A and B are shown apart, each in its own frame.
Chain A
């Protein structure tokens, strides 16, 4: 649309703030690429921590991947884990401090490649932690290699002709696998590519955090996300590609939801 490129006149003093950067997000410029879903995920996760009033009781575990520096942005105690091992690190923390809120924040390589063993067993044991899984079907930090969740025919730096099933197997639906485990309390797949999806994703994270207090099992929130840089697209385009290509394979919605009774009995 053609705009008259004149910034409007602001009258902030006549208005109230209804939405702003949460205090639990440090005032640092995040290093993520323009348009990257990590930024949104960080923001809504920290908003959830702030809204629940649990900043002083929350310990996060950062992965290896683009979000390795999450602890530079999240104003909570955090530990940096070895690649793939965040859920084991979280287990160590939560077992010693069962009343604190512990979450991991992991990408697709961390959680579903090298960390598959730890991921499965943490959920199988029903550790009372929140696992936040950012799935963008590619390895961002290391320059765009194939991930377990890379789609068929998707081109990456290690599948330059597109992912082929006979050679590399199918994209791994790890979330669906985990949802079958009795130790999983809440398993859901969300996205942050539209305002409506962002609201739903935040709701999922709020639940994932607060339901920890029930000590009834693992909460797992997958967030289907974009990677504009390694997909070779502009941010707006990448969210469109996400909707057209990723969501059909990774459909959004709850895979396992606690019943009303499970939520009521503390």
Chain B
């Protein structure tokens, strides 16, 4: 039923958005993800008459997303690290107002203006908050162009299910690389009504709907927070996604997501060829994080290596899961440099020899 195409990651994501019945996209150009906006301005309106608007800034974009989401539309935005930083206030508001929407961060090197090359330096920002307050984003980390496409519909479905923003955390390399992708059929975006809580105009049969994240009485604000936390516990229980490769007999495990997982897989193969029993755990949801999976593995492995293109962010979550039972190392390159499998192989051999 699908359609097979060779596509660039950013464009596959955009195409998937059209097919998933997107109602609106608001975004601002920034390398390395401008193709998302460009593709949508070329393709989207003529196919589904959805709204595609280049806003004046990322701040304007995220607030347009808030407005549209509050009115019940299936809406998304995309940006890259500095732009995502600008959006943090808006994202906090969206989470606080419990609105569904899809966000995409095509992570580039930072901090600051940084570089346009890929990086995974936004892990903390994505899963530990980013914006102010006690909220969580559901974070999906694709590792292939196919997943760049698949996670769009799945992201929106999760967003709608939990009334929570969902972030696809990808990077400049995945955004630019071209791979085969099997595209889902077109969903009729007009086929569903806006949810009952949306601001579509107060009809006589109901009270007015208010979309807000302002609860000035502390007693009320606490209740809202408790409700959010309840929601997050439910998501943690039900929505963890993780891939394990060769972990059953492994005595050393690489933990990596996204682009790093592809490198990690190659590293695992190279080491297996040399007789080392190495496995890979690939978190697909970065929040909720697969602590359980890593913790179980910690029962029988001698060490872990968190492989990520940053100074050491996800490694902290690995250490939390391992809880001191064995050494957890980190290897990462920063500034937009992608580690080679060989250098990671060396790193693991060094670490492994110290553990023995």
User: Are B211 and A80 in contact, CB atoms less than 8 angstroms apart?
Assistant: yes
- Check A92/B201 contact, CB under 8 A, given A80-B214, A82-B90: no
| Contact indicator A58/B201 (Cβ below 8 Å) | yes
Instruction: Kindly list chain A residues whose C-beta atoms are within 8 Å of the C-beta of B138.
Output: none
Q: How many A-B residue pairs have CB under 8 A?
A: 129
Residue interface mask B194-229, A partner, CB < 8 A = 1: 000001111110001111111000000000000000
The reply to whether B208 and A77 form a contact with Cβ atoms under 8 Å apart is yes
- Indicate if B123 sits at the interface (CB-CB under 8 A): no
Does A55 contact B68, Cβ atoms closer than 8 Å?
no
Asked whether, in the complex, the Cβ of B214 is within 8 Å of the Cβ of A97, the reply is: no
Residue from A82, A90, A95 with most neighbouring chain B CB atoms (10 Å):
A95
Partner of A77, one of B23, B60, B73, B209: B209
Q: Is A56 an interface residue (CB 8 A)?
A: yes
B57 touches A91 (CB 8 A): no
> Contact at B93–A82, with CB atoms within 8 Å?
yes
Asked if residues A117 and B200 are in contact (CB atoms below 8 Å), the reply is: no
Residues of B within 8 A of A100 (CB): 200-201
CB of A57 within 8 A of CB of B211, answer no
- Given A79-B211, A79-B212, A85-B90, do A95 and B202 touch, yes or no (CB 8 Å)? no
Given A85-B63, A93-B70, A75:B200 Cβ within 8 A: no
Which residues of A, 60-103, contact B by the 8 Å Cβ criterion?
61-62, 68, 71, 74-82, 85, 88-93, 95-97, 100
Closest to A54 in B: B201
| Bound CA span A93–B210, Å | 13
Does B64 lie within 8 Å of A56, measured CB to CB?
no
- B59 surroundings in chain A (CB, below 8 A): 85, 88, 117-118
The answer to whether B236 has its CB under 8 Å from any CB of chain A is: no
Residues B60 and A79 in contact, CB atoms below 8 Å apart? no
Inter-chain contact B210/A91, CB cutoff 8 Å: no
Size of B's binding interface in residues, CB under 8 A: 40
Cross-chain contact A79 with B90 (CB below 8 angstroms): no
Query: Which of B89, B201, B209 lies in contact with A82, CB distance below 8 A?
Result: B89
Among B48-56, B174-182, B311-319, the stretch that binds chain A is B48-56
- Residues from chain B with Cβ under 8 Å of A96 in the complex: 23-24, 51, 68, 71-73, 75
A92 x B214 contact (CB < 8 A)? no
Judge if A121 is at the interface, Cβ distance under 8 Å.
yes
Q: Give complex CA distance A175, B40 in Å.
A: 34
Whether, in the assembled complex, B267 has its beta carbon less than 8 Å from a beta carbon of chain A, the answer is: no
Taking a contact as CB atoms under 8 Å apart, the answer to whether A77 and B202 are in contact is yes
Distance to closest chain A CB from B206 (angstroms): 10
Residues of B contacting A59 in the complex (Cβ-Cβ under 8 angstroms): 71, 199-201
Is the CB–CB distance between B26 and A92 below 8 Å? Answer: yes
Q: Quick check: is B327 within 8 A (CB to CB) of the other chain?
A: no
In whole angstroms, how far apart are the Cα atoms of A68 and B133 in the complex?
20
Given A77-B210, A118-B56, answer yes or no on A92-B202 (Cβ-Cβ < 8 Å): no
Cα separation A58 to B201 with both chains bound (whole Å): 5
Output the residue of A61, A74, A88 with the most chain B CB within 10 A.
A88
Question: Known: A71-B212, A79-B211, A95-B24. Is A89-B67 also a contact (CB below 8 A)?
Answer: yes
Residues on A with C-beta less than 8 A from B71 are 59, 79, 92-93, 96-97
> If A80-B210, A117-B59 touch, does A93 touch B67 (CB 8 Å cutoff)?
yes
Residues of A close to B199: CB separation below 8 A: 59, 77-79, 93
* Chain B stretch 39-89: residues in CB contact (< 8 A) with chain A: 51, 53, 55-57, 59-61, 63-73, 75, 89
Q: How far is the CB of A36 from the nearest CB of chain B, in Å?
A: 19
CA distance A22 to B24 in the complex (A): 35
A59-B71, A77-B200, A117-B57 known; A92 and B208 CB under 8 Å?
no
Task: Pick 11 A–B contacts, CB within 8 A, sort by A.
Answer: A57-B201, A76-B201, A80-B210, A80-B213, A80-B214, A81-B66, A82-B90, A89-B63, A92-B67, A95-B53, A97-B200
List 4 A-B pairs, minimum CB-CB distance, nearest first. A92-B67, A89-B67, A80-B212, A92-B64
Q: A80-B213, A81-B63, A82-B90 are in contact. List 13 more A-B contacts (CB 8 A).
A: A59-B200, A61-B67, A78-B199, A79-B67, A88-B55, A88-B61, A88-B67, A90-B67, A92-B64, A93-B67, A95-B24, A100-B201, A118-B56
